[in-house]
Chain A
């Protein structure tokens, strides 16, 4: 016998009063509008390009570029292709961004903690730093470092000379370049050995703490191993390293490694500017941990350092990570201000010179935007993974 189910629910509203029907209707309209707008844009572009006789496609990437770039991490000269200029620009952008993220994070954490110091002078200095730096436009700060500070360094002939190995002048900072000789493999071996030993000690120390409660000074011992073992292996291998020293040749220096002033100015400005925002984020993160947490930790006999490490920072991190991510994204995107002082980043090289020479605006802009989007999404992804790891599980 089939059981008859009786629908006891009240009759549904008229379709135009039903929120589900309404939302479907408005979503359909929105999608139609987006597609219509997109089609107009594409159609318009294609017909305009056709009427002006501009060829589309990515074939231009294989053509010879014919212009020089003042700094390249991947091998480059003017006979190479436009595609190559893309890689030069991208690596330069990634370099200054990575350097900026590292420096801004370190500086930001230090200043953020200093801002909370009980020492009046330290706290006020951090406050002044933050308020001055974050309230001046970044472009202005880049100009300041490039034109007001680095351009006023002495000319190559009057370089600031540190021990005949390190030279600073208005063309850049010149450092000795390490050139590995035969037998350097032993040193690499020593470095790998040291890293393996430190990892091993960490695991062993954790195990021992679980078993006996003894706390091993992993950090101090680890640093000692990481410093001493490579030095010893270097000496044992008979010092297989020579330095290519920079030297004055004619009007400028040759040899060694050069940090061009454009890179230095951009890096300093980006780091200082972003650090001021990170400092405020760190401060708010630490303040978000209630005073009761610190008191409970102290009442349990945990000294200040352990209280900070085991109780305050783990809880502050969940507040710090999301806004820190957006600061990293800002830094990467702000690095495109490089154009203003001629640092050859992706925007300056690829969207600047390459675009001007080839006229392939649509393709070049699309590639460049896709690159920034990719970098930003990757940073977000990694930060989200990290955030999930430190998030507090409450329910």
Chain B
């Protein structure tokens, strides 16, 4: 493990390191030679046309998908077939899904406490108190004893964020968190994510919300055809894209 450089005290560089990573689905080459280093506290937005492999890429970071070549090192642990390493990494990496994936048979509070109780072995009372704090942070403490089916999409996604935060992860992955939401609910979820970004969480977001990217991202990554085509700070990325593919993509999504 590298020692942190002196000019950035407390910020671990390279909390995620991806080196020469490839992935295939059968014969189909989904991800091609990806290289990426993310420092602690960095906020990264990944965008690109559908089918460009961006979701697959962040799903590789907590090994919901396997990569076949290259290295992925998260918080100093390399992801291999070793189940113990995978479980350790997953404990430190929270994930929010497009379709929320809350557990419908458990209440909101139980959803949040499940993993702290069974994986972190937190006493139930402590776990519940901490879960209530996070539910307050995402502004739905009053829904704690309801079941996910009784909540709106925006509320469910905020519960999902709280559930991931309850494990006190070092890194948060967002896989198109607002794509399945009605327009009026997108804002309430983005507000929570912006608040989270302000707290210094390391974040990787796959999203089409360019406004969010402009507000909080340190870096925007553009993927197409399974490759990282371009990466730049948001101001540069939106005003002065270098690659033709990026320019075309931006024209299409910013046209309206």
Q: A293-B101, A310-B114, A315-B104 are contacts. A213–B147 as well, Cβ < 8 Å? A: no
A310 to B94, CA, bound (A): 19
Which residues does chain B contribute within 8 Å of A209, judged by CB atoms?
117, 123-124
- A residues near B115, Cβ cutoff 8 Å: 300-302
Instruction: Report if A158 contacts B (CB, 8 A).
Output: no
- Interface segment among A99-107, A146-154, A166-174, A387-395: the answer is A387-395
Closest to A212 in B: B123
Take A301-B87, A301-B90 as given contacts and tell me if A315 and B105 are in contact as well, using a CB distance cutoff of 8 Å.
Answer: yes
Which residues on the A side are within 8 Å of B126 (C-beta)?
213
A residues near B124, Cβ cutoff 8 Å: 209-211, 213
Does B189 sit at the interface, judged by CB under 8 A? no
Q: Known: A310-B118, A395-B149. Contact between A301 and B103, CB under 8 A?
A: no
B121 CB contact (under 8 Å) in A215, A298, A311: A215
B150 near A302 with CB under 8 A, answer no
Cβ of A295 under 8 Å from chain B: yes
Contact of A213 among B64, B121, B149, B164 (CB under 8 A): B121
Measured between alpha carbons, how far is A306 from B114 in the docked complex, in Å? 10
**Which residues in A have their C-beta under 8 angstroms from that of B117?**
209, 213
Contacts of A395 in B (CB 8 A): 147, 149-150
Interface size class of B (residues with CB under 8 A): 35 or more
- Determine the distance from Cα of A310 to Cα of B91 in the docked complex, in whole angstroms: 17
Contact B64 A300 (CB under 8 A): no
- In chain A, residues 7-30, which have Cβ atoms closer than 8 Å to a Cβ of chain B? none
B71-84 to A contact mask, C-beta < 8 Å, 1/0: 00000000000010
Q: How long is the Cα–Cα vector from A343 to B101 in the complex, in angstroms?
A: 52
Mark each residue of chain B from 57 to 95: 1 if its CB lies under 8 Å from any CB of chain A, else 0.
000001010000000000000000001000100110111
- Rounded to whole angstroms, the CA-CA distance of A297 and B119 in the bound complex is 11
Q: Specify which of A210, A299, A303 is in contact with B123 (CB 8 Å cutoff).
A: A210
Contact of A392 among B105, B125, B164 (CB under 8 A): B105
Within 8 A of B (CB), among A96-132: none
Q: Is the CB of A394 within 8 A of B90?
A: no
Is B64 within 8 A of A298, CB to CB?
yes
Q: Is A292 an interface residue (CB 8 A)?
A: yes
- In B101-134, which residues have CB < 8 Å from any A CB? 101-105, 114-115, 117-127
A176 at the interface (CB under 8 A from B): no
Sort chain A's interface into a size bin: 20 to 34
Residues in A neighbouring B127, C-beta threshold 8 A: 213
Q: Is chain A's binding surface mostly helix, strand, loop or mixed?
A: helix
A300 partner, pick from B83, B105, B149, B164, beta carbons under 8 A: B164
> What's the least CB distance linking A305 to chain B, in Å?
10
| Residue A214 is within 8 A (CB to CB) of chain B in the complex | yes
Tell me the bound Cα distance from A385 to B34 in angstroms.
54
> Which A residues are CB-close (under 8 A) to B114?
300, 302, 310
Contact with B along A308-319 (1 / 0, CB 8 A): 001100110010
The residues of B that contact A215 with a CB separation of less than 8 Å are: 118, 121
Question: Cβ of B213 < 8 Å from any Cβ of A?
Answer: no
In angstroms, how far is the closest chain B Cβ from the Cβ of A322? 16
In this assembly, does A340 line the interface, its C-beta being within 8 Å of a C-beta of chain B?
no
What's the Cα separation between A315 and B105 when bound, in Å? 7
B91 touches A301 (CB 8 A): yes
**Chain A contacts with B in 344-395, Cβ cutoff 8 A:** 392-395
Assess whether A221 is interfacial by the CB under 8 Å rule.
Answer: no
CA of A395 to CA of B148 in the docked complex: distance in angstroms?
9
**12 more CB-based (< 8 A) A-B contacts, given A296-B97, A300-B115, A395-B149:** A209-B117, A211-B123, A213-B121, A213-B127, A214-B121, A295-B97, A299-B90, A300-B114, A301-B91, A302-B118, A315-B103, A392-B149
Interface residues in chain A, defined as those with a beta carbon under 8 Å from any beta carbon in chain B? 209-215, 290, 292-293, 295-303, 306, 310-311, 314-315, 318, 392-395
Ordered by A's residue number, 19 sampled pairs between the chains whose C-beta atoms are within 8 Å are A209-B117, A209-B124, A210-B125, A211-B125, A212-B123, A213-B121, A213-B124, A213-B127, A215-B118, A293-B101, A295-B64, A296-B103, A300-B119, A300-B163, A302-B119, A310-B118, A393-B147, A395-B147, A395-B150
